[in-house]
Amino acid sequence: MTSRGSATATRDPAAARTISFAHLRRMMVPAGIVQFARRDEPDLSTGTCLDDNARTWLVAIHALAADPPVNAGAADEIGERAMTFVEYAQHADGLFFNMADIDGRPLEDVGSDESIGRAVWSIGTAVRCAPEPAWRRVATGLLDRALPAVQRVNATHARAYAMLGLCAVLSPESAWPLRRAETQLPAPLRARARASLDRIADAFVATLRAHEKSRWPWWSDALTWGNARLPEALLRLAIATGDERYARDGLRALDFLASITQPSDMFVPIGNGGWYPRGGVRAVHDQQPIEACAMVDAWLAAHAWTRDPRYLDRARIAYEWFTGRNTEKLPVAVPQTGGCCDGLQPAALNENQGAESTLSFLHASLAMRAATGP
């Protein structure tokens, strides 16, 4: 569904600082968050999934851990449902299913690598950053079971997500500038988490080395989706371990990505209508909210490592993609409700406000608030 614009949206980035959870609450059912929407109404026929519930739990954690907390009542309710889905989705061997019907019944045995990686991201963040003690206890058990299973994850993006979660386990300040929960991990679990992170990081860097070229320092021969999460993972890893080698690789890859998608005062993500193969032509549309969210986080990670204020400015530019600083000059997000359209097309919006898009906007809004203040 497309539109030439939205009368309810606004280009004022300050309006997003209110961080409404109205649309997010509308998208929730007892089993968790509904995957897709028709305009701003949840499409119950699309069911729910681990991917989106892990994202939801992460947003709820960051909302509650903010200083002061953001929408505490709604965040607590939403986070509880999302956490319950993640807990239910884990098998005894530590792996997870992803797709489920609207009542939460699984539609598959084992989910995609990416869904497992996202689950570990939310779990690791909950272990050390969730203000709710019960969430931390649940997350610690989930982590304990997931560590052996996460070694079976091979997809590059999945490894990046898992690294983000394990970095938070070892060093909460590597996640976001949030108030740290007081939970201390048992020494054996912490050692296992560090060993798991080291193995994943070694494989992640090896993939980069196998594909990078002098003018293409990247993990594959194409820029596709979720691009900025890859350099962000290296930068968070540098913060967690203090190893400058990871920061050098991360900054080099981020600079390369920015030379294509944010060379000046506008973020233009790689479109999913063809991606950008090396030596080919980059797609401009359909631009997706997950790209802007990831770019905000990557710039904030660069700032956290370097303390260079220019990276905060670049994060603001990427964030303003949501509010109309984009190729079509159309607001993609609806700050009044917290909803976000599913894509930016030539002179038009995909006005469906699905879970992934809405959570991307809320995540980016909370990230900017945590970094720069309310």
Q: Reduce the DSSP state of residue 223 to 3 states and report it.
A: strand
Q: What is the pLDDT of residue 1?
A: 53
- Phi/psi for 66 (5° steps) reads -65, 160
Q: What is the pLDDT of residue 298?
A: 98
Q: What is the pLDDT of residue 181?
A: 73
Pair 186, 130: CB distance under 8 Å: no
Parse the chain into domains and list their residue ranges: 2-372
pLDDT tens string, the chain, 374 residues long: the values are 554 444 333 344 444 467 999 999 999 999 999 999 999 999 999 999 999 999 999 999 999 999 899 999 999 999 999 999 999 999 999 999 999 999 999 999 999 999 999 999 999 999 999 999 999 999 999 999 999 999 999 999 999 999 999 999 999 888 777 666 766 789 999 999 999 999 999 999 999 999 999 899 999 999 999 999 999 999 999 999 999 999 999 999 999 999 999 999 999 999 999 999 999 999 999 999 999 999 999 999 999 999 999 999 999 999 999 999 999 999 999 999 999 999 999 999 999 999 999 999 999 999 999 998 87
Q: What is the pLDDT of residue 10?
A: 39
Distance CA 112, CA 133 (A): 29
DSSP 174: G
Let me know if domain 2-372 sits in CATH 3.90.1720.10.
no
Q: Which phi-psi region, left, alpha or beta, contains residue 280 (left: φ > 0; alpha: ψ -120 to 50)? A: beta
Q: How many CA atoms lie within 13 A of 95 on its CB side?
A: 13
| Tokens read off for 338 | 């917290």
Interior/surface letters 38-64, b for 16+ CB within 10 angstroms, e for the rest: eebebbeebbbbbbbbbbbbbbbbbbb
Measuring CA to CA, which residue among 46, 99, 29 is closest to residue 37?
46
Q: What is the pLDDT of residue 203?
A: 98
* Cβ-proximal residues to 287 (8 Å cutoff; 6+ apart), any chain: 268, 269, 271, 321, 326, 327, 343, 344, 345
Strands 348-350 and 343-345: antiparallel
